[in-house]
Structure 1
Amino acid sequence: MPSQTKRKKPYSHFRLRKFLFFTVPFTILALFLLRTSSSSSSTASVSSSYTTYQPPWFGDLQTAQFPWNRLAFSLTNPPPKTLKLAVFSRKWPTGPNPGGMERHAFTLYTALARRGHRVHVFTSSLDPFLKTDKIINLKIHPHGDAESGKWRYNKAWELYQEENQKQPFDVIHSESVALPYWKAREVPNLAVTWHGIALESLHSSIYQDLIRKPGEPRLQSFNASLYSAVLPKILDEIRFFNNYAHHIAISDSCGEMLRDVYQIPEKRVHVIFNGVDENGFTSDKKLRSLFRSKLGIQENSSAIVLGAAGRLVKDKGHPLLFEAFEKLIETHSNVHLVVAGSGPWEQRYKKLGDQVTVLGSLNPNELKGFYNGIDIFVNPTLRPQGLDLTLMEAMLSGKPVMASRYPSIKRSVVVNDEFGFMFAPNVEALTTVMEVAVAEGAERLAERGRKCKEYAAEMFTASKMALAYEKLFLCIKDERFCIYP
């Protein structure tokens, strides 16, 4: 009797493979996003005592998966042990406009040197015409045989070895990959601070491509860089990051990526937010009045001043800000945009007329006036990497913020709706939140700013950052110091 079982169609296996090929990656992505969303809410509740009461934490700091900035450290008590610290930094800030990584290194190690730790910074050649202030316990070792600012890790390593032979360093710290992994794996007491990782760069590439106009062709270099550079770099990082003994993430989301995607053991990943000088960024009514008078805004004016600071380039989101503000001023005459920074978009902003003021690059003292003079700070960045120091400076100055809705910002900075507004990185979303902010008025925005200042003073100060790093370095030196409190 012939079999009644139907034969499968020859192409059934092909259809199954095709189904799996297209559905499995999206399923994995969806599950990852759901997990990120759920963990985001729990982490946010930990990192902000302002939003939710948190019971006192105690235990082994190596197991803490929340930002160490949340913990209480004493600034008045001296460290239980002074350390000899080696720092590898591609650049040391000597010019008027240092980058975020250089500012982080300078702020951190100036504070630790003042705490009594002996800090040796191995960096690139310095400009001989620029003078640097002498700081007790802080010694700069610039390597020669290269032009100013050009990094040569092998030369810096030689200088390090010479100093290490005199007296071994207790802890070595690298600002990102200043010390490459094939050297780092030789150093068991090394910590590296990641100011950006390749997986975050992938997100940045996606957001920058999404702002293309309808009909605007995608850059030919996009696919080439994505498949030949970005994706291989992510895989390379996942493989070689394990060579670094300790990893410091500067945002909650980066810490999670290092643990979950880069597969770094949990006890080797530590989240410490960057900090800014709490004495340099404060609320000052006199500075506010002076700044606004220079803009031609009267003391009793109801005008709302929005401010943005940083390099005026595409990946900082200036195409979004330009178009959104252009739409806003079509229906609002009582708004003003002040842009601090220089770059290709400087001349374009000037085309928007009298309601926009471009200040160019500002020194730290000028930035104080800028932050005090605005009503709300706008950061439309298209780079979901790390945490922008300008957000912290604005909040410490008592200003609410308006920022792109990225996990790093949502989970670590704008952890409460009172702190400002978040928007999807597109023109329509930014225009909408701008209109809402303007409608609230200066008094309501000032109330938000006061709450921002409370949170920033708790989480984003240079003192809190330095004390958290000090505790980590002590822990690396001797596990007795890993126990908190």
Structure 2
Amino acid sequence: MHVLAATNNLYPDPSATGSGRYNYEVGRRLVERGHRVSVITRQRGDAPARETVAGMDVYRYGASVPRLPATMRTIEGLVESVRAREPVDLVSFHGALSSFGVDRATPDAVPRTYTIHGLWGVEYRDRLVDPSPWAAPYHWLNRTLRHRVEGRVLGHSDAAVVLSEFQRGRVRDHHPDAPPVRVVPGGVDVERFAPLDGPAPEAFGGEDISLLTVRRLTPRMGLETLLDAFARVVDDGLDAHLYVGGDGPLRGDLAARAERLGVASDVTFLGYVPEDDLPGLYAGADAFVLPTLELEGFGLATLEALASGTPVVGTTAGATPEILGPLESRPEVPEPLLVPPGERDALADRLAAWARLSASERAAAGEACRAYVLDAGYTWAAVTDRLEALFGDVRAGSASGGTDSQ
């Protein structure tokens, strides 16, 4: 089977996101199973226009909003190049911009699936930090166009894929005419993300408890609440340090907030964390914190931390309870993992409770976290199994069947 994937980014390109990692992990495994995978993606950094990545044929295009018609023509030309080498059996959409161009250039008879990692218009709204009221018409138009482009690609797809029940509900709310929606949870590379076999990374100091979060620094991530809760943990006399990985528009505001709270010396802003450094950070932390306020569509970072043997304290926002809820019932997990979003005191109490556990209790909980990931099938091999089956259903005209559909 020749699969053409359309995505806005692809690991290991610079600034690749979770969807880029998803495409890389699934794509390379499809290649290992004997399929051909071509990828059309946006060019980032100094990545070449054409190359082979983990057996996948990768085609990159430059993108510019003022030159959008030219961008679409470029994408359409790349589709023609892909099809000239070998007919495409199925198109797998990821990200509306790339998918829109690929959809236009692909014959209607070719089956299509659309994996929705996040709703494009909603995510655009989230990235706005105190937008000027004078720009409101522009932002409204931008959100509306994104929603319509996304809807058009969905309307041309035979099946939609989401990573959680939460996201399935949101797709149905925003796109009621969407095709059948299947839930295929994300995965984690359990060989790469594993407990430490040696000392903790140099990024960590000598404190008793190291708390870690890795997030894009935007309003919905709940980092203000995390800082407020952490300040209470420090005030309670616990020897803890908070490490904040990631960058974004709130970086300066968060640093100033830590200063005002009197915990600037207890908080380290790591900035952008390269992919190669993530496994050591996850495994070296005593707990990972996911303080999201809203729109947590799945949470690959949650799985990466758990696979590393690191407990995750998260909020009930979005899909996080789907991952952490079953884990809470394991006897080796002595404290709850979930708190309501935006509640400082609840988060502070939970972090303090985990910080007060003995080393042996934390070790047992960490082992249970990794075992849970393996038992629940949160691996890229399992994800690829389910997608491969879906692709077969779509090609056979039975996308609405199977245990993942409702």
Under a length normalisation based on structure 1, what TM-score does the superposition of the two structures give?
0.67
Give the superposition deviation at 1:395.
Answer: 0.8
| 1:413 to 1:171, Cα distance in 2 relative to 1, 3 A | farther
Aligned to 1:161: 80
Counterpart of 2:163 (choices 219, 225, 250) is: 250
The amino acid that maps onto 1:291 is P
Do the aligned partners of 1:203 and 1:384 also contact (CA within 8 Å) in 2?
Answer: no
Question: Which runs of 5 or more structure 2 residues have no equivalent in the other structure?
Answer: none
The 5 Å alignment of 1:380-395 reads 380-395=291-306
Counterpart of 1:434 (choices 351, 367, 370) is: 351
Do the aligned partners of 2:158 and 2:394 also contact (CA within 8 Å) in 1?
Answer: no
Do the aligned partners of 2:40 and 2:58 also contact (CA within 8 Å) in 1?
Answer: yes
Instruction: Give a deviation string over 1:270-309, Cα, whole Å, max 9, x none.
Output: 11112222211001241xx333795124xxxxx2221111
Do the aligned partners of 2:88 and 2:110 also contact (CA within 8 Å) in 1?
Answer: no
What value does the CA root-mean-square deviation take over the aligned residues?
Answer: 3.9
Aligned partners of 1:129, 1:260: CA distance in 2, in Å?
A: 37
Aligned partners of 1:456, 1:185: CA distance in 2, in Å?
A: 40
Aligned to 1:467: 385
Aligned to 1:186: 108
Aligned to 2:205: 295
Aligned partners of 1:321, 1:222: CA distance in 2, in Å?
A: 32
Instruction: Give a deviation string over 1:377-436, Cα, whole Å, max 9, x none.
Output: 101123414222211110111111111212411124443424652222222332232233
Instruction: Give a deviation string over 1:67-96, Cα, whole Å, max 9, x none.
Output: xxxxxxxxxxxxxxxx10111112333445
Aligned partners of 1:125, 1:238: CA distance in 2, in Å?
A: 21
| 1:176 to 1:219, Cα distance in 2 relative to 1, 3 A | closer
Aligned partners of 1:227, 1:145: CA distance in 2, in Å?
A: 19
Q: Secondary structure at the match of 1:179?
A: helix
Counterpart of 2:279 (choices 360, 365, 368) is: 368
Instruction: Give a deviation string over 1:23-49, Cα, whole Å, max 9, x none.
Output: xxxxxxxxxxxxxxxxxxxxxxxxxxx
Aligned to 1:423: 339
Do the aligned partners of 1:117 and 1:137 also contact (CA within 8 Å) in 2?
Answer: no
Q: How many pairs does the alignment contain? A: 382
Aligned to 1:80: none
The amino acid that maps onto 1:254 is Q
Instruction: Give a deviation string over 1:331-351, Cα, whole Å, max 9, x none.
Output: 123222122223414744773
* 1:304 and 2:227 correspond: no
Instruction: Give a deviation string over 1:416-465, Cα, whole Å, max 9, x none.
Output: 42465222222233223223322344433333332221222233222222
Aligned partners of 2:81, 2:52: CA distance in 1, in Å?
A: 22
- Which shifted more, 429-438 or 366-375? 429-438
| 1:185 to 1:136, Cα distance in 2 relative to 1, 3 A | closer
| 1:120 to 1:197, Cα distance in 2 relative to 1, 3 A | same
The 5 Å alignment of 1:299-338 reads 303-338=208-243
Give the superposition deviation at 1:311.
Answer: 2.5
* 1:85 and 2:3 correspond: yes
| 1:152 to 1:413, Cα distance in 2 relative to 1, 3 A | farther
Aligned to 2:19: 101
| 1:290 to 1:450, Cα distance in 2 relative to 1, 3 A | closer
| 1:370 to 1:467, Cα distance in 2 relative to 1, 3 A | same
- Which shifted more, 317-326 or 471-480? 471-480
Do the aligned partners of 2:121 and 2:147 also contact (CA within 8 Å) in 1?
Answer: no
Counterpart of 1:140 (choices 40, 58, 75) is: 58
- Which shifted more, 347-356 or 249-258? 347-356
The amino acid that maps onto 1:399 is T
Do the aligned partners of 1:238 and 1:262 also contact (CA within 8 Å) in 2?
Answer: no
The 5 Å alignment of 1:29-108 reads 83-108=1-26
Give the superposition deviation at 1:480.
Answer: 8.6
Do the aligned partners of 1:94 and 1:132 also contact (CA within 8 Å) in 2?
Answer: no
Instruction: Give a deviation string over 1:186-227, Cα, whole Å, max 9, x none.
Output: 35500011011269659969xx99xxxxxxxx9774995899
Aligned partners of 1:358, 1:315: CA distance in 2, in Å?
A: 18
| 1:376 to 1:187, Cα distance in 2 relative to 1, 3 A | farther
| 1:132 to 1:339, Cα distance in 2 relative to 1, 3 A | farther
Counterpart of 1:447 (choices 361, 364, 373) is: 364
Aligned to 2:90: 171
| 1:377 to 1:311, Cα distance in 2 relative to 1, 3 A | same
| 1:137 to 1:341, Cα distance in 2 relative to 1, 3 A | closer
Aligned to 2:119: 197
Q: Secondary structure at the match of 2:213?
A: strand
* 1:272 and 2:190 correspond: no
Q: Secondary structure at the match of 1:357?
A: strand
| 1:132 to 1:227, Cα distance in 2 relative to 1, 3 A | closer
Instruction: Give a deviation string over 1:132-164, Cα, whole Å, max 9, x none.
Output: 9844641112236879xx993432122213432
Aligned partners of 1:318, 1:296: CA distance in 2, in Å?
A: 24
| 1:225 to 1:452, Cα distance in 2 relative to 1, 3 A | farther
Q: Secondary structure at the match of 2:341?
A: coil
Aligned to 1:117: 35
The amino acid that maps onto 2:228 is E
Q: Secondary structure at the match of 1:381?
A: coil
Aligned partners of 2:316, 2:125: CA distance in 1, in Å?
A: 12
- Which shifted more, 346-355 or 88-97? 346-355
Q: Secondary structure at the match of 1:290?
A: coil
| 1:245 to 1:361, Cα distance in 2 relative to 1, 3 A | same
Aligned to 1:17: none
Greater C-alpha radius of gyration:
1
Question: Which runs of 5 or more structure 1 residues have no equivalent in the other structure?
Answer: 1-82, 210-217, 298-302
The amino acid that maps onto 1:124 is R
| 1:349 to 1:231, Cα distance in 2 relative to 1, 3 A | closer
Do the aligned partners of 1:318 and 1:380 also contact (CA within 8 Å) in 2?
Answer: yes
